[in-house]
Chain A
Amino acid sequence: MKNSDKNIWQGESPPIYFDNAATSFPKPESVISEQNNYLLNIGANPGRSGHSLSVKAGEIVFKARKQLASMFGVKNPMRVVFGFNATDALNLAIKGTVQHGDHVITSAMEHNSTIRPLKQLEADDTISLTIVDADKNGRIDTQRVKESIRSNTSTVVINHVSNVNGVIQPIAAIGKICRDRNITFIVDGAQSGGYIPVNITKSEIDIYAFTGHKGLYGTQGTGGLIFADTFDYKKVKPLRAGGTGSRSSEIVQPDFLPDMFESGTLNVGGIAALCAGVEFVNEKGVENICKHEQQLAGYFQTKASETVPGFKTFGFDKQNAGIISFRIGYLSVSEIAGELSDRYGIMSRHGLHCSPLSHKSLDSFPEGTVRFGFSVFNTFEEVDDTVEALYEISKKAKVKSKETINHITH
């Protein structure tokens, strides 16, 4: 790695940060400097005013749209609509698309950002819902999706890459099934954008939800939807209405992209950072980043299996994206994560990862797992140190009985 890519942590003892699947850290220096540049030198509202700083702010937003469209295989940059994160984007995609009486298909590997909006819609009798099972490694069978289609199926919502074990779903195959039947296909790309190559056009995705603060190395508070060039975006109703800086004489919401979904001032500083993050990913190459993270996960799995007594992974596969879920014997996952953080400065995330369905699929519910999500900045040396720490934790900690775990309530 280049010097500029080094961990920019300024504390005395740099942490080992494996919680990238929640928010990636550290950020590339260019991400920080671009956000700073916006705050120091531009600072204005994009598209509202006629002055030169407003134009500059608008240019930042446009550049980000162009880069994101290009990264995800979409031609028209206006098909990129900014929101605040993947959850925000998925709420718009799901609640904006479905209509009363629709049947919707989703999977047992969904994050709560998808399943909760869907369950809300089911509870108020707006939709009927089918949750397609996954196998014990978290894989969804395309055939099961196909078999679940009914005459009133309007929408399929599928998680692209699991935030629990990194399993990659057969998005293109599901996309084809949906496209052939004119069913709207929404993909939760929170863990795929920047982590694995994604092409919305080739995979026949209609609506792709992304977030800025994970694999795209931007900051929190950025994300959005990308509509396929061919998708009729007017099928989606805006959930927010308000000022857009366009058609200001009219008191009704505009009906064109991206304005119809972007009422209210955007997070331009965040978008400047995101733009730099996307450039960073492009420079590194998403295939290279993916390979590096997969190798780290594979190396960790092999080394920990050899070294740490009772080490067990859930749905691990070398082909998965660089996310790994594990336990050690009957040790509480919170104890492992707490020890890792407090004694060794290793950041992980334990528990259910806002994804109880996935943990049920992977047979790790209700205790959950300890999760490592790797980034381009992580190294094999960090994995070595972590395996050593886990070995010490496994020796020192009081091994609990299976019953202890089963009595944990969530």
Chain B
Amino acid sequence: MEAIILFHSTNYAIWAQDLLKKNNITCKTIPVPRDLSSDCGYCVRTSPEDSNSAEELLKENDVEYDRVVVR
């Protein structure tokens, strides 16, 4: 299982990665899976366990994201 956080722009993916890592949430930027989005670039992968706290962190810091897909 994994949680994929999708963004409208890779600028926000990088920001999210920076923020999550600073808050000790394990994550990695990965190429945007084509089955989830047609956007270029990368998104952020984290664990399903961490996805709620990751979302909270992003909201708190106004890091806009498209959606989170747990699969």
Contacts and interface: CB of A to CB of B under 8 A. Distances in A.
B4 interface: no
Contacts of B29: 55
Nearest to B62: A76
A246 B66 CA distance: 11
Contacts of B30: 50
A365 interface: no
Contacts of B62: 76
B39 A55 contact: no
Contact of B10 (A66, A76, A77, A245): A245
A249 B6 CA distance: 15
B33 to A, nearest CB: 9
Interface in B13-71: 13-15, 18, 29-32, 38-42, 62, 64
A61 B64 CA distance: 18
B41 A54 contact: yes
Interface string A45-77: 011111100110011011001100000000011
Contacts of A182: none
Contact of B9 (A65, A66, A76, A254): A254
Given A55-B42, A249-B39, A50 B32 contact: yes
B42 A50 contact: yes
B41 A48 contact: yes
A247 B8 contact: yes
Contacts of B40: 47-49, 245-246, 248
Contacts of B64: 256
Contacts of A46: 10
B8 A256 contact: yes
Given A50-B30, A55-B29, A246 B38 contact: no
Contact of B18 (A47, A54, A62, A76): A62
Contact of A49 (B9, B13, B18, B41): B41
A62 to B, nearest CB: 4
A58 B39 contact: no
B11 A51 contact: no
B41 A245 contact: yes
A386 interface: no
Nearest to A262: B11
B26 to A, nearest CB: 16
B9 A256 contact: yes
Interface centre among B7, B10, B38 (most CB of A within 10 A): B10
A258 B10 CA distance: 10
Contacts of A54: 41-42
B41 A47 contact: yes
Contact of A254 (B8, B14, B31, B42): B8
B53 to A, nearest CB: 21
B14 A59 contact: yes
B41 A246 contact: yes
A54 B38 CA distance: 18
A76 B64 CA distance: 11
Contact of A77 (B8, B13, B15): B15
A49 B39 CA distance: 10
A249 B31 CA distance: 16
Interface string A136-167: 00000000000000000000000000000000
B38 A248 contact: yes
Contacts of A65: 11
A76 B12 CA distance: 11
A48 to B, nearest CB: 5
A44 to B, nearest CB: 11
B8 A246 contact: yes
Contacts of A258: 9, 11
B41 A78 contact: no
Q: Give the 6 A-B CB pairs with smallest separation, nearest first.
A: A50-B31, A47-B10, A246-B9, A249-B38, A62-B14, A245-B40
Given A48-B10, A58-B14, A256-B64, 11 more contacts: A47-B9, A50-B41, A55-B29, A58-B41, A62-B11, A76-B62, A77-B15, A246-B40, A249-B39, A256-B9, A259-B11
6 contacts: A55-B14, A55-B29, A62-B11, A62-B18, A66-B18, A246-B9
